[in-house]
Structure 1
Amino acid sequence: MTSLADGDWHRLHPASPLLRGGIFVFALLGFVIANLRERLVDLVFGIPRESGDPLDEIYERGAVGWALLAAAVILIVILVAFTLSWRMHTFRVSDESVEVRSGILFRSHRQARLDRIQGVNIVRPLVPRLFGTAKLEVSVAGQDANVQLAYLGSALADGLRRDILQLASGARQPRPAAGEPAPEHPAVDPALMPAGPPTAAQAARRHALNDYASARVGEFLAPELDPDAAPPESVVRIPLLRLIGSIVFSGFTVFVAIAIVALIVSVIVGGSEWLLIAIFPGLIASVGYYVSRFTKSLRYSIAGTSDGVRVGFGLLTTSNETLPPGRIHAIGVTQPLAWRPFGWWQISINKAGHSTNDGAAGQAATTVLPVGSLADVAKVLELILPGFAIDESRALIQRGLTSRGGDDGFVNAPRRAAWLRPFSWRRTGYAVSAGAVLLRRGVLSRELVLVPLARLQSVGISQGPVRRRLRLAGARLHTVAGPVSATLGVIDVGEAERLLETVTAGAVASADSDTSHHWSRQDIDLTPTRTAAALTGPTATEVTP
């Protein structure tokens, strides 16, 4: 454990208040510098200034002294407020939780229990990277329950994430006994201390400055994922051309194309200046949208580490999140119609915690693979479902993604379902394999949903008047809220009842034997207290997982 996970209260990086709320200071300095620059140019070239300039008014009224005094008071108040904010913002990491206390007038105390942690995300925005700092966000199950530490030293943030995940895994670090000295902090290099004659102090400062600059350059050039953190064969990356193609062949491009056609028609026909005014600014803004999506997806990688799945991306502002085992409740593999000629797919997940940061390509943080091939899909599924037998179910997954339906291992909707799903009834079906439920649907936009039985909340089947006449029913697997919807619109009513019984029994058995939430504990009894055979009696459908 590092010194930040010793159970004591610690403070954030001294530059944290400036990085969190000091943007208005930079804006004020920018205004002053720009104004002084204009005055210098006017003085050199003799250009007369327009009346009403604020600085001219202050000078003509003889209030220069008062203006300087007011600026000094404002600056002192800002510095005092920043200092108090930094001193009052503390955190600690214990064996049970991560706690943060903050506020000057109104105090706040947030607590994140380790057993409810859904992921740990480290974000390095561009400006904080210049200071060698990073923001650590602990994602916790619950609405608005996340805990942020903004900002920490970049290396300290990496070490603290490792400690939090180690504690959340069930491992415990022994604390020093009473009377036993606590671990000492690393000593400061004497060469960096200004000692001796002035020349030695200056040399030490230059040495420290060079080390600081080298460290910042190294952080910008270093790969997002440490090569020692994961084996190379587990890393999935997005080729540059595929990334560009996925952005170009997106739904937003269709909207831009329609806007361009409307703009051209308005210019040719004439008399529609209002349409030009309404559309042209949006087209300019779309260029920034494409650039933002492109830069946010560069250096994307996903890999399996000892503490879970690491997803990283970003060029200027980088982000990498670690998802511990057992925190993923549903997986959705989708293929838009425009991506089908290229064989590209996208993977999204449902998890109990919701990060406040965007994911790759500016999409939701629940998108773990923005675009990938079938081989990438298989590799990612193997990473995010470690208990799922990918080798045994690989053919079933591929049929669920690409098959047009029929006798292919899935329980499909009957032919009479064509009254309600005229195009997609052949691809609507389900299968249960290796501790997970697979739901297949969609013909224009293909989709395959995988729900681990150990994460399932409940199962529901419904039947309205039209479905009742057709002897059909709808089924829904309830998980935590997210972009993945585990539903089947039509299925035979008898198959829906069998789905309810099979999934309910399997979910209870899987939950009893699941130990993924404490993946480092060695003293866990892996023997389930109940077996699936005990749930096949008359009361099996009454068991709620």
Structure 2
Amino acid sequence: MNSLADGEWHRLHPATPLLRGGIFVFAALGFVLANLRERVLDLVFGIPVGSGDPLEEIYRRGSVGWALLGLAGALVVILIAFSLSWRAHTFRVNDEIVEVRSGIVFRSNRKARLDRIQGVNIERPLIPRLFGAAKLEVSVAGQDANVPLAYLGSAKADELRRDILRLASGARRPAAATVDPEAGVAEAPQPGATVGEFARDRVAEFLAPELHPDAAPPESVVRIPPGRLFGSIVLSGFTVFLVLAAIALVVGGALGGSGWLPLAIVPAFIGGVGYFVSRLTRSLRFSIAGTPDGVRVGFGLLSTSNETLPPGRIHAIGISQPLLWRPFDWWRVRINKAGHSSSQGAAGEASTTVLPVGTAADVARVLELILPGYTGEEQRALIERGMHSTGGSDGFANAPRRAAWLRPFSWRRTGYAVSAGAAVLRRGVVSRELVLVPLARLQSVRIDQGPVLRMLGLASAGLHTVAGPVSASLGVLDADDAVRLFETVAAGAVSFATSDTSHRWNHKAGVFE
């Protein structure tokens, strides 16, 4: 069995230097030659600037051979530099780490411990997809700790991700494997393969589902219709900003002259259209499905991306509903995780967005994947009330009426509940928010009481997790309820963290295949 996770050193896709910067080098060289060719020819061949077409002048002087020789020499130097860069860029995966070495003059070495892996992302930008290549990024806990492998053969990237996740899960590697250190990484056309066959392979890859049936269920648990996706983008804060800016420009032009108005509106209009198109294309073909090694989220039309989040790596879950989405009952789901991918996620948002827009039923299906222990009937009812209830006797310890002095509009929806190993916080009235924090992932808990809160018999509370878009805090609570939250959550965090083994979800699975 050939595997890139055999502990040996391997090289990346042969087109890697070109894909990582060579295209831009050739583009920049062409731009310079196109704009400065007369001065270059004056310097090299002594052809005066302004003497006519430089190419005709080269031909007239009989210097065509020297010009071609110089061009060939420059190309050879560039190709040699690319080749040396490719040969110096190697990686290996063993039972403990993913390690990457790169650089010719300045060497670098990056390592990612398997027990700290927070996710494995495979990104297929448009140009690398034409070469059958993909970027694999190992997301690790820590600042700037990710380890990218750009680029691998597309199929080999999928296989390597599966092997990395199985090693991280605690499964043992096979006793022996026959490998060729450079086999299979490039995925170049086989001898005798025609250009047409290569083109058909690339077209099939473009049309294939983002989540391969062998690696995940073929059906995503959530489908986002294009109309809903488009509506969610239009009904966003950016649209409101554009509308207000346009109104301000029109009013300002009417009051003080409109000569500058087109100069301000046209660039803003072009930028807004580009923003909407980018968010729309990035979220098309969105899919989320469960795999034996975690939850896989995929999206994208021309450039695609899919990331696998192993069990036990999600530290907080945020369910939110902007005001403009409320008539349609649309919601967004985001998470906190210790590692962050360098690439954007669905809808151009952060990679921590696991559902860009969905109904309440979609949210329930996503929660079953990312928080599998929180799927009982009681928990589902609690989530439903937390999303839609406006307070009262709904299973939450809600803020008292006197909290209206500090939260005149949102005090009714401010409250918490603890159930089935997770703390559930509810807040917000303009933008409704529900936050779930698995107690096994909790880092610390705090309650505060300043002089104003003390005078009103209130306190604020916060549950600390890794940094991310989800903030698990409540601004006002009854002081006694805040103390009960502190005691319950602190005791539960110790208990569930001690018994939690989700971070080594396959440690009894034995040898993986």
Matched, 1:239 2:220: no
SS in 2 for 1:356: coil
Q: How has the CA–CA distance of structure 1 residues 193 and 57 changed in structure 2, closer, same or farther, with 3 Å as cutoff?
A: closer
SS in 1 for 2:477: strand
After TM superposition, give the deviation of residue 72 of structure 1 in Å: 3.2
Kindly provide the amino acid, as one letter, of the partner of residue 121 in structure 2: N
Aligned to 2:45: none
Matched, 1:380 2:387: no
* Structure possessing the higher relative contact order (Cα contacts under 8 Å, 6 or more residues apart): 2
Matched, 1:217 2:203: yes
Q: Distance in 2 between matches of 1:34 and 1:206?
A: 38
Q: Distance in 2 between matches of 1:210 and 1:65?
A: 35
Q: How has the CA–CA distance of structure 1 residues 499 and 161 changed in structure 2, closer, same or farther, with 3 Å as cutoff?
A: same
Q: Distance in 1 between matches of 2:93 and 2:237?
A: 44
Q: How has the CA–CA distance of structure 1 residues 57 and 487 changed in structure 2, closer, same or farther, with 3 Å as cutoff?
A: farther
Kindly provide the amino acid, as one letter, of the partner of residue 127 in structure 1: I
Q: Is the 8 A contact 1:6 1:175 kept in 2?
A: no
Alignment of 1:80-95 (within 5 A): 80-95=80-95
The alignment's TM-score, normalised by the length of structure 2, stands at 0.90
Aligned to 2:299: 313
Q: How has the CA–CA distance of structure 1 residues 284 and 304 changed in structure 2, closer, same or farther, with 3 Å as cutoff?
A: same
After TM superposition, give the deviation of residue 246 of structure 1 in Å: 0.4
Q: Distance in 2 between matches of 1:498 and 1:57?
A: 88
SS in 2 for 1:3: coil
Q: How has the CA–CA distance of structure 1 residues 58 and 482 changed in structure 2, closer, same or farther, with 3 Å as cutoff?
A: farther
Q: Is the 8 A contact 1:234 1:303 kept in 2?
A: yes
After TM superposition, give the deviation of residue 64 of structure 1 in Å: 5.9
After TM superposition, give the deviation of residue 55 of structure 1 in Å: 5.2
After TM superposition, give the deviation of residue 59 of structure 1 in Å: 7.2
Q: Is the 8 A contact 2:250 2:261 kept in 1?
A: no
Q: How has the CA–CA distance of structure 1 residues 466 and 399 changed in structure 2, closer, same or farther, with 3 Å as cutoff?
A: same
Aligned to 2:39: none
Aligned to 1:149: 149
For the aligned residue pairs, the C-alpha RMSD in angstroms reads 2.8
Of the candidates 501, 509, 513, which is equivalent to residue 487 of structure 2? 501
Aligned to 1:114: 114
Q: Is the 8 A contact 2:397 2:415 kept in 1?
A: yes
SS in 2 for 1:235: coil
Q: How has the CA–CA distance of structure 1 residues 28 and 417 changed in structure 2, closer, same or farther, with 3 Å as cutoff?
A: closer
Kindly provide the amino acid, as one letter, of the partner of residue 152 in structure 2: L
Aligned to 1:337: 323
Kindly provide the amino acid, as one letter, of the partner of residue 396 in structure 1: L
How many residue pairs end up in the alignment?
495
After TM superposition, give the deviation of residue 270 of structure 1 in Å: 6.0
Kindly provide the amino acid, as one letter, of the partner of residue 17 in structure 2: P
Q: How has the CA–CA distance of structure 1 residues 411 and 69 changed in structure 2, closer, same or farther, with 3 Å as cutoff?
A: same
The alignment's TM-score, normalised by the length of structure 1, stands at 0.85
After TM superposition, give the deviation of residue 476 of structure 1 in Å: 0.5
Q: Distance in 1 between matches of 2:102 and 2:263?
A: 47
Aligned to 2:462: 476
Aligned to 1:542: none
After TM superposition, give the deviation of residue 3 of structure 1 in Å: 1.9
Aligned to 1:161: 161
Matched, 1:207 2:202: no
Of the candidates 180, 183, 203, which is equivalent to residue 178 of structure 2? 183
Aligned to 1:302: 288
Kindly provide the amino acid, as one letter, of the partner of residue 282 in structure 2: K
Aligned to 1:352: 338
Of the candidates 284, 293, 313, which is equivalent to residue 327 of structure 1? 313
After TM superposition, give the deviation of residue 326 of structure 1 in Å: 0.3
Kindly provide the amino acid, as one letter, of the partner of residue 244 in structure 1: F
Aligned to 1:257: 243
After TM superposition, give the deviation of residue 463 of structure 1 in Å: 1.1
Aligned to 1:489: 475
Matched, 1:6 2:1: no
Q: How has the CA–CA distance of structure 1 residues 153 and 523 changed in structure 2, closer, same or farther, with 3 Å as cutoff?
A: closer
SS in 2 for 1:4: coil
Q: Is the 8 A contact 1:124 1:318 kept in 2?
A: yes
After TM superposition, give the deviation of residue 145 of structure 1 in Å: 0.4
Q: Distance in 1 between matches of 2:423 and 2:125?
A: 39
After TM superposition, give the deviation of residue 285 of structure 1 in Å: 1.3
Matched, 1:454 2:453: no
Q: Distance in 2 between matches of 1:474 and 1:116?
A: 32
Q: Is the 8 A contact 1:112 1:145 kept in 2?
A: yes
Q: Is the 8 A contact 1:121 1:139 kept in 2?
A: yes
Q: Distance in 2 between matches of 1:61 and 1:457?
A: 77
Matched, 1:126 2:121: no
Matched, 1:15 2:15: yes
Alignment of 1:395-474 (within 5 A): 395-474=381-460
Q: Distance in 1 between matches of 2:161 and 2:329?
A: 36
After TM superposition, give the deviation of residue 69 of structure 1 in Å: 4.6
Q: Is the 8 A contact 1:350 1:480 kept in 2?
A: yes
Q: How has the CA–CA distance of structure 1 residues 52 and 336 changed in structure 2, closer, same or farther, with 3 Å as cutoff?
A: farther
Aligned to 2:79: 79
After TM superposition, give the deviation of residue 383 of structure 1 in Å: 0.4
Between the two proteins, what is the percent identity of the paired residues?
A: 73
Q: Is the 8 A contact 2:216 2:291 kept in 1?
A: yes
Q: Distance in 2 between matches of 1:94 and 1:260?
A: 57
1:303-346 deviations in Å (ceiling 9; x for gaps): 11111000000000000000000000000000000000000000
Q: Distance in 1 between matches of 2:332 and 2:144?
A: 27
1:400-422 deviations in Å (ceiling 9; x for gaps): 01100011000011111111000
Q: Is the 8 A contact 1:259 1:279 kept in 2?
A: no
1:202-225 deviations in Å (ceiling 9; x for gaps): xx9663433322211110111111
Matched, 1:97 2:92: no
Q: How has the CA–CA distance of structure 1 residues 66 and 230 changed in structure 2, closer, same or farther, with 3 Å as cutoff?
A: closer
